Amino acid sequence: MKIKSLAGHIGEEIMVAVSGPDPGNPQRARLHLVDDHGLWLESRDLVESLLSPVGIAQPDQLIFLPFSQIQYITEVAEIEPATRLRFKW
């Protein structure tokens, strides 16, 4: 089995757990871009969970998360349980 780099998942849905109001609870997001400093993700639920506790209303579903705020990322598996990705930065 060949392991895809994180950039190989651009355009796909991933599960991402971030530091914040609900740490360790992974949420589904579509990966848009892998930046040198973090990820650009699209997810209404993720944006709401991060911004609504601090009173920020954000109509966009796209958010940048620095790597320092990401606890872990998993693939969205349809048959097998999600597995942690191995990264090639």
**pLDDT value at position 10?**
92
The beta-strand segments (E) located in the chain are: 13-18, 27-34, 38-42, 62-66, 70-75
Domain boundaries, the chain: 6-75
CATH class, 6-75 region: mainly beta
Q: What integer pLDDT is reported at residue 80 of this predicted model?
A: 46
CA-to-CA distance for 16 and 19, rounded, in angstroms? 10
pLDDT single digits (tens) 29-77: 999 999 999 999 999 888 888 777 666 766 678 889 999 999 888 887 6
0.75 exceeded by the pTM? no
Dihedral angle of Cα 31, 11, 59, 23, to the nearest 10 degrees: -20
Mean pLDDT of all residues belonging to the chain: 79
Asked whether 30 and 11 are in contact (CB, 8 A), the reply is yes
DSSP state of 37: S
In angstroms and rounded to an integer, the radius of gyration of the C-alpha atoms of the chain is: 13
